[in-house]
Amino acid sequence: AQKTVLITGCSSGIGLALAVKMATDEQKRFKVYATMRNLTKKDNLVEVAGNTIGNTLEIKQLDVCSEASIKMCVSSIPNRRIDILVSNAGMGLIGPIECQTIEEMQKVMDTNFFGLVRLLKEILPDMKRRKSGHIIIISSVMGIQGILFNDVYAASKFAVEGFCESLAIQALKFKLNLTLIEPGPVLTEFENKVFEDGMKMDLSATDEETAEMFVNIYLKNYKQIFETLGQTAEDIAEHTVKIILAENPPFRHQANALYTPMTTLKYADPNGDLPIDTFYKMIFQHDKIFSASLNFIKLLRWKSKKSFDLGGTSSQ
Ligand code: NAD
């Protein structure tokens, strides 16, 4: 039978690509509820989804920051049946913490972390009753490892990961699957918006050294990192569908094989110093080595095939 899928944040990026990929499945295995906070932003999805709309795809309003909106959306689905939930909506925030307001930080936590909590409070009880369901969360490699000037964003994804690790044990008892997809950099609106907000940031609240570090090191290398390591939203959608169709979906799946050497450092040193020292040296002591490694990765990438092996890229 056709599986129902609810995806959040479908007006752009990964959510949009995934909704379209699943709705255009040749075997019509999925009925997709592509949701978004603001329905006036549905044009891009409508254009790409074409005649799947009204067939395998329906667009619905859902704001992950509003319990009422989640309730209304879930209640409008026949028998409230959601077989696969993809929690994708999210936002970024970069820069020195002294230049960010607590309100801005709370918005990130409210969207990225409490957004997931609100969804599960509404959807998990039904899945537990039915003893079936797959919850997919678009987390990030920053849910495993912090990165310079991404303090609050990384904290929000760490919160997601801790929450899911705890919940996964209960989920197993109810025969539910839970998977964290951990992309590295992805070329979407997200990356553009975060960069532009960073460029516009008022840095007067921080000291000169920090401001210089943010502008001349972080922002300077930002685009190059995305160009070198960046995947497309379609790549992440492809990984996600493979995970959904897997017989035994893993708890964690890192979507970017080029990034796994960095995350592996975390698991290699129980003291936690290795990844921090490595990032420090890459950023502050070996700026040239950093550029050289990015060039080397570019070369590898160019030589490597586009296809990927799920077994080889899933994390330990
Ligand atoms: P995106 O900005 O294109 O998509 C995020 C979507 O979430 C947008 O459509 C936005 O409108 C929506 N959204 C924001 N607040 C919402 C709310 N309150 N309710 C409902 N929808 C809301 O960026 P993306 O890269 O496709 O991001 C999708 C997910 O992937 C996010 O969770 C993000 O943290 C994660 N991610 C992105 C990257 C990256 O580099 N782009 C890397 C790793 C993980």
CB 104 within 8 A of CB 93: yes
Q: What is the CA(273)–ligand 1 centre distance, in A?
A: 30
Rounded to 5 degrees, what angle do the CA atoms 35, 150, 62 make? 10
Q: What local confidence, expressed as pLDDT, does residue 289 receive?
A: 63
Whether the ipTM is more than 0.90: the answer is yes
Q: What local confidence, expressed as pLDDT, does residue 302 receive?
A: 59
- The full set of domains in the chain, from first to last, is 90-313 (3.40.50.720)
Considering 118-127, 214-223, 296-305, the range whose residues carry the highest mean pLDDT is: 118-127
Q: What local confidence, expressed as pLDDT, does residue 222 receive?
A: 87
CB 19 within 8 A of CB 7: yes
- Residue with the bigger pLDDT between 191 and 201: it is 201
- Residues 211-220, mean pLDDT to the nearest whole number: 92
Mind listing the pLDDT tens digit for each residue in 155-181? 999 999 999 999 999 999 999 999 999
- Residue with the bigger pLDDT between 253 and 291: it is 253
Say yes or no to pLDDT of 310 above 90.
Answer: no
Taking the CA atoms of residue 217, residue 220, residue 222 and residue 225 in that order, the dihedral angle to the nearest 10 degrees is -90
Q: Which protein residue has the closest C-alpha to ligand 1 atom 6?
A: 9
Q: Which protein residue has the closest C-alpha to ligand 1 atom 31?
A: 90
Any ligand 1 atom below 6 A from CB of 94: no
Rounded to 5 degrees, what angle do the CA atoms 159, 165, 170 make? 125
Any ligand 1 atom below 6 A from CB of 183: yes
Q: What is the CA(10)–ligand 1 centre distance, in A?
A: 9
Q: Which of 153, 218, 222, 259 is catalytic?
A: 153
- Residues 27-54, mean pLDDT to the nearest whole number: 97
pLDDT band at 292; cut points 50, 70, 90 = low
The atom number, within ligand 1, closest to the CA of 92 reads: 34
Lowest mean pLDDT across 72-76, 236-240, 261-265: 261-265
- Residue with the bigger pLDDT between 52 and 258: it is 52
Please say if 153 is a catalytic residue.
Answer: yes
pLDDT band at 315; cut points 50, 70, 90 = very low
Instruction: Identify the CA nearest to 86 among candidates 143, 171, 28, 22.
Output: 22
CA distances for 42 relative to 26, 48, 115, 119, angstroms: 24, 10, 20, 21
Any ligand 1 atom below 6 A from CB of 156: no
Say yes or no to pLDDT of 191 above 90.
Answer: no
Mind listing the pLDDT tens digit for each residue in 57-114? 999 999 999 999 999 999 999 999 999 999 999 999 999 999 999 999 999 999 999 9
Sheet holding 3-7, edge to edge: 57-61, 30-36, 3-7, 84-87, 134-138, 177-182, 252-254
- Residue with the bigger pLDDT between 280 and 94: it is 94
Any ligand 1 atom below 6 A from CB of 230: no
Mind listing the pLDDT tens digit for each residue in 115-162? 999 999 999 999 999 999 999 999 999 999 999 999 999 999 999 999
Alpha-helical (H) ranges within the chain are 13-23, 43-49, 67-75, 102-112, 114-130, 151-173, 189-200, 208-212, 220-229, 233-245, 260-268, 273-280, 287-303, 310-313
Q: Which protein residue has the closest C-alpha to ligand 1 atom 21?
A: 9
Any ligand 1 atom below 6 A from CB of 314: no
Q: Give backbone dihedrals phi and psi of 51, rounded to 5 degrees, phi first.
A: -80, 10
How many residues are there in the chain?
316
Any ligand 1 atom below 6 A from CB of 191: yes
Q: What is the CA(52)–ligand 1 centre distance, in A?
A: 23
Choose which residue among 7, 14, 195, 228 to substitute to test ligand 1 binding: the one with the highest number of ligand atoms within 8 A of its C-beta. 14
Instruction: Identify the CA nearest to 138 among candidates 171, 121, 115.
Output: 115
Q: Give backbone dihedrals phi and psi of 253, rounded to 5 degrees, phi first.
A: -140, 115
Q: Which protein residue has the closest C-alpha to ligand 1 atom 19?
A: 63
Q: What local confidence, expressed as pLDDT, does residue 166 receive?
A: 98
Any ligand 1 atom below 6 A from CB of 233: yes
